[in-house]
Amino acid sequence: MEKKDLVIRIAGEGGEGIISTGDFIAAACARAGLEVYTFKTFPAEIKGGYAMYQVRASSETLYNQGDTFDVFCAFNGEAYELNKHLLKPGTAFVYDYPGGDFEPEIPEGVHAYPIPMSKTAKGLKQYRAKNMVAMGAMSVLFNINEETLIRVLTDKFTSKGEEVLRLNLEAFELGKKMAAEQSKTDTYRVADAQEPKDVIIISGNDAVGLGAVIGKLDFFSAYPITPATEVAKYVSTHLPKCGGVLVQAEDEIASLAQVLGASYAGKKSMTATSGPGLALMSELLGMSTMSETPALVVDVQRGGPSTGLPTKHEQSDLFLAIHGGHGDSPRVVMSVEDVKDCIDMTVDALNIAEEYQTPVVLLSDGSLAFSTQTIPRPDPASYTIVDRRKWDGQGEFKRYLFTDDNISPMADPGTPGAMHIATGLEHSETGAPNYGPVAHEANHRKRFNKIAPLVDKYKPTEIDGDPDEEADVGIITWGSTIGVAREAIARMREEGIKVKGFYPKLLYPMPVKQYEDFAAKCKKILVPEVNFQGQLSHFIRAETSIKPIPYTICGGLPFTPIMMIEKTKELL
């Protein structure tokens, strides 16, 4: 069977142009009309350290970064050492030789392509062009569309001056020439150029920022934290164009505090952080709940606890997102599956925060944060934008008025006749302190009940497969692991295995009936997630009658489809 996709992994020392090489190849493939899904890891250090960029390109839709690579390009010895166990018979191996800092042993069956990257770059007195040599070689070896690649390079380097462009193109040509001299022994090739599609290529973090702009955000405040910081970078670049403001706060506590202050003042407001920041914000999340002040917190999860794995992928903030904080403090918790969701669900989350006057925690993760994907170009006009319910000016204004749907009208400061206090104290309908048992219970009911309808109103949880069909295994998962499950399930179905998927995007309030209806058609329920405890499994056990089988990994990397396929087969 002809392989439809190709996975190229490039690795080396941070600063050697690993990331830009990956970006160039990804952009060239996307320009050539292919689907692209990239994945990268980089060290927590500023300079040096191991950096890896993986590009998966296909003529068909991609949902994840792939199982492993087909082609590995090593820029240095460390990259080789860290990946040599993955050089299996059939993989292609492009490496810096002669003249590099290592002499690899080529395992039996591996297609080896030594390319003197360092030496060539030195010959050009342009050491930084090492990656251009590698790219030229790979374009020849693996059919990466040369025309688009050169266009991408030209776009990138033109601003740096003619001489820089000329030298880089020369290095690229030399790389091509060296590869052409090699005898091609593998069959890998990137799919031929397709009819160009109307797509964009964007990372998860940038997509959150774009969602914020599309969602008509007014105010953003955040404190830098990996892997969430690019959200602030994107927003700081583009929000001012739309008249919005961004403040870099002194810490995460201040950032959510500022968000609440701006939101009280009538502005659509959000922050973005990662686990340690969310932990610091938990008291203010309660304040948002109690004072019914809309707020969006995007949590780009990383490995914890404590400083944990600051640059690594994990999905382990679910407990914190749903239950973090003191008292009974309901909030809406949602999670994104892919880059497109990062746009769409940021808009949804802003809308829900406004409509329900509640904090919303939107969970992304370290894998999605830097992963770039090709997605259809979004049309801003196609999104619905929701604003908070405003007081109609009739009768006495009561900020915390009990209503049929538990949502009270709001009045922005400046509105005559509606002066009120927004408060973190338990209160009466007017906002006056009231610690009585009747008020506390009634308000708890109000705060929980107002978001409860979301289980039916927010888009229903997707079932991957025929909802009515019986399955041997049902896979329930969340976040970017969904993309892995999609491919694993599709591949298993091709083998005739009866397996289905269930992909919740709304994690709290929990759509219990949808979970149970799905599970009723499955003999076993497998819940893969990237955390140690099986956090979603825990909520499933606690909230539903389902007995899930947790499948957890927590090594700082996402699942691959093959892992999920093997685990599922064990259950059959």
Partner 1 sequence: MSVAAFNQVEMKPKDYKSEVPTTWCPGCGHFGILNGTYKALSELGVDPTKFVNISGIGCSSRMPYFVNSYKMHTLHGRAGAVATGTAVARPDLAVCVSGGDGDGFSIGGGHMPHMARKNVNMTYILMDNGIYGLTKGQYSPTSRPEMKAYTTPYGGPEEPMNPLLYMLTYGATYVAQAFAGKPNICAELIKGAMEHNGFAYVNIFSQCPTFNKIDTIQHYRDLVEEVPEGHDASDLGAAMELARRPGGKAPMGLLYKANKPTLRENLDKIIEKVGGHADYDINQIIARSKP
Helix (H, G, I), strand (E, B) or coil at 373: strand
CA distance 107 to 87: 7
Q: Which is nearer to partner 1, 413 or 467 (CB)?
A: 413
CA distance 26 to 373: 9
Helix (H, G, I), strand (E, B) or coil at 182: coil
User: Shortest Cβ distance from residue 200 to partner 1 (Å)?
Assistant: 4
CA separation, residue 41 to residues 12, 45, 368, 564 (Å): 11, 12, 11, 21
Q: Which is nearer to partner 1, 295 or 485 (CB)?
A: 295
Q: Which is nearer to partner 1, 113 or 397 (CB)?
A: 397
Helix (H, G, I), strand (E, B) or coil at 297: strand
User: Shortest Cβ distance from residue 383 to partner 1 (Å)?
Assistant: 10
Contacts to partner 1 by CB under 8 A: 26-28, 30-31, 36, 152, 199-202, 206, 210, 213-214, 218-219, 221, 238, 240-247, 249-251, 253-254, 257-267, 269, 283-284, 287, 291, 374, 377-378, 380, 413-425, 432-433
User: Shortest Cβ distance from residue 273 to partner 1 (Å)?
Assistant: 15
Tokens of 183: 């005898």
Q: Which is nearer to partner 1, 94 or 259 (CB)?
A: 259
User: Shortest Cβ distance from residue 191 to partner 1 (Å)?
Assistant: 15
User: Shortest Cβ distance from residue 293 to partner 1 (Å)?
Assistant: 8
CA distance 400 to 289: 12
Q: Nearest CA to 295 among 306, 283, 309? A: 283
Q: Are 30 and 199 in contact (CB under 8 A)?
A: yes
Q: Which is nearer to partner 1, 85 or 377 (CB)?
A: 377
Number of neighbours of residue 98 by Cβ within 10 angstroms: 10
Number of neighbours of residue 438 by Cβ within 10 angstroms: 8
> Strands of 499-503's sheet, edge to edge?
462-464, 499-503, 471-476, 522-529, 549-552
Q: Which is nearer to partner 1, 249 or 549 (CB)?
A: 249
User: Shortest Cβ distance from residue 247 to partner 1 (Å)?
Assistant: 6
Q: Which is nearer to partner 1, 199 or 554 (CB)?
A: 199
User: Shortest Cβ distance from residue 284 to partner 1 (Å)?
Assistant: 7
Number of neighbours of residue 326 by Cβ within 10 angstroms: 8
Q: Which is nearer to partner 1, 113 or 234 (CB)?
A: 234
User: Shortest Cβ distance from residue 165 to partner 1 (Å)?
Assistant: 19
User: Shortest Cβ distance from residue 271 to partner 1 (Å)?
Assistant: 10
CA distance 68 to 20: 21
Q: Which is nearer to partner 1, 52 or 212 (CB)?
A: 212
Q: Are 94 and 141 in contact (CB under 8 A)?
A: yes
What DSSP string runs through 38-92? EEEE--SSSSSSEEEEEEEEESS---SS-SS-SEEEESSHHHHHHHGGG--TT-E
What DSSP string runs through 115-157? E-HHHHHHHTT-GGGHHHHHHHHHHHHTT--HHHHHHHHHHHH
Q: At what angle do helices 339-356 and 204-214 cross, to 10 degrees?
A: 40
User: Shortest Cβ distance from residue 424 to partner 1 (Å)?
Assistant: 6
CA distance 359 to 81: 46
Q: In this structure, what DSSP letter does residue 488 have?
A: H
User: Shortest Cβ distance from residue 240 to partner 1 (Å)?
Assistant: 5
User: Shortest Cβ distance from residue 32 to partner 1 (Å)?
Assistant: 9
Q: Which is nearer to partner 1, 339 or 526 (CB)?
A: 339
Torsion of CA 446, 449, 450, 456, to 10 degrees: -170
Q: Are 503 and 464 in contact (CB under 8 A)?
A: yes
CA distance 208 to 228: 10
Q: Which is nearer to partner 1, 213 or 485 (CB)?
A: 213
User: Shortest Cβ distance from residue 308 to partner 1 (Å)?
Assistant: 23
Q: Which is nearer to partner 1, 419 or 572 (CB)?
A: 419
> Strands of 219-222's sheet, edge to edge?
245-248, 219-222, 269-273, 295-301, 359-365, 332-335, 506-508
User: Shortest Cβ distance from residue 417 to partner 1 (Å)?
Assistant: 8
Q: Which is nearer to partner 1, 219 or 551 (CB)?
A: 219
Q: Which is nearer to partner 1, 174 or 246 (CB)?
A: 246
CA distance 185 to 112: 8
Amino acid in the structure at residue 184:
K
